[in-house]
Amino acid sequence: MSLFKFRIQIFSLLLFTIAFTSCKGQTSTNRTQKNSNSTNQKEEHPKIVRTFGTQSENVVGHLLDKNGNLWFSIRGEGAYRYDGKSFTNFTTKDGLCSNNVGSIIQDKAGNILFGTNRGLCKYDGNAFINIPMTDTLNITSLLEDQAGNIWFGVMNNGIYRYDGKNIANFLYKYEHPFFGEKYEKYISDIIQDRNGNLWFSSWNGGGVWKYDGKSFKHFLPSLDYYNANQDNRRNSNAENALNFIQNKNKSFIQTQDYISDDMIFSMTEDHLGNIWFATRNHGVCHYNGKIFTTIGIKEGFESEGAYAILEDKKGVFWFTTEKDGIWRYDGKTIKNFNEKDGLINNSVMNVLEDKEGNLWFGTKFFGLSRYNGQTFTTFSQYDK
Q: Three-class SS string for 107-156?
A: CCCCCEEEEECCEEEEECCCCEEECCCCCCCCEEEEEECCCCCEEEEECC
What integer pLDDT is reported at residue 132 of this predicted model? 85
pLDDT confidence bin for 321, thresholds 50/70/90: very high
Provide the pLDDT for residue 8: 34
Please classify residue 173 by burial: count the beta carbons closer than 10 Å to its beta carbon, then call 0-12 exposed, 13-18 middle and 19+ buried: exposed
The pLDDT score that the predictor gives to residue 41 is 41
Residue 17 scores a pLDDT above 50: no
- 95 DSSP assignment: T
Rounded Cα distance, 363 and 367, in Å: 5
Residue 83's CB is within 10 A of a number of other CB atoms, namely 14
Which helix H or strand E contains 256, and what residues bound it? none
Q: Measure the CA–CA gap between 300 and 330, rounded to whole angstroms.
A: 12
Query: Taking a C-beta distance cutoff of 8 angstroms, is the pair 329, 319 a contact?
Result: yes
Phi, then psi, of 11 in degrees rounded to 5? -60, -45
Question: For residue 7, what pLDDT is reported?
Answer: 36
Q: What is the mean pLDDT of residues 265-294?
A: 96
Where residue 182 falls among pLDDT bands split at 50, 70, 90?
low
What average pLDDT does the chain have? 85
C-alpha span between 234 and 144 (Å, rounded): 38
Q: What pLDDT is stored for residue 102 in this prediction?
A: 95
- Whole-angstrom distance, CA of residue 216 vs CA of residue 10: 51
Percent of the chain with pLDDT over 90: 66
Contact 321, 303 (CB under 8 A): yes
CA distances from 185 to 162, 166, 280, 296 (A): 18, 21, 16, 27
> Would you say residue 333 has pLDDT above 90?
yes
- Taking only the tens place, the pLDDT of each residue in 40-84 is 344 578 999 888 888 777 999 999 999 999 999 999 999 999 999
Confidence at residue 269, expressed as pLDDT on a 0 to 100 scale: 98
Domain boundaries, the chain: 56-378
Determine the residue type at 63: L
User: Order of strands, edge to edge, in the sheet holding 87-90?
Assistant: 27-28, 87-90, 78-82, 70-74, 60-64
Least confident among 7-11, 96-100, 211-215, 256-260: 7-11
Three-state DSSP class for 259?
Answer: coil
Q: Are 116 and 101 in contact (CB under 8 A)?
A: yes
Residue 162's CB is within 10 A of a number of other CB atoms, namely 18
Give the range among 85-94, 159-168, 184-193, 336-345 with minimum mean pLDDT.
184-193
Band (250; pLDDT cuts 50, 70, 90): low
Higher pLDDT, 21 or 131: 131
Would you say 10 and 18 are in contact if contact means Cβ atoms under 8 Å apart?
Answer: no
**Cα 126 from Cα 213, distance rounded (Å):** 35
> Looking at the predicted structure, is the pLDDT value of residue 12 above 50?
no
The model's pLDDT over 103-162, given as tens digits with 9 standing for 90+, comes to: 999 999 999 999 999 999 999 999 999 998 899 999 999 999 999 999 999 988 889 999
Nearest to 58 by CA among 308, 318, 231, 229: 308
CB contact at 8 A, 331 and 274: no
pLDDT band at 255 (very low <50, low <70, confident <90, very high): confident
**pLDDT range class, residue 86, cuts 50, 70, 90:** very high
CATH superfamily of 56-378: YVTN repeat-like/Quinoprotein amine dehydrogenase (2.130.10.10)
Say which DSSP state 243 is in: T
Each residue of 336-358: pLDDT tens digit? 999 999 999 999 999 999 999 99
C-alpha distance across the termini of the chain, in Å: 15
Distance CA 81, CA 73 (A): 9
Q: Where are the alpha helices (DSSP H) in the chain?
A: 3-19, 223-227
Task: Write the DSSP string, 300-358.
Answer: T--SS--SEEEE-TTS-EEEE-SSS-EEEE-SS-EEEE-GGGT-S-S-EEEEEE-TTS-
- Lowest-pLDDT range of 174-188, 315-329, 340-354: 174-188
- Confidence label for 35 from pLDDT (cuts 50, 70 and 90): very low
What pLDDT is stored for residue 173 in this prediction? 76
Paired strand residues for 284: 278, 295
Given a contact cutoff of 8 angstroms between Cβ atoms, the answer to whether 122 and 112 are in contact is: yes
CA distance 50 to 369: 16
Do you know the residue count of the chain? 384
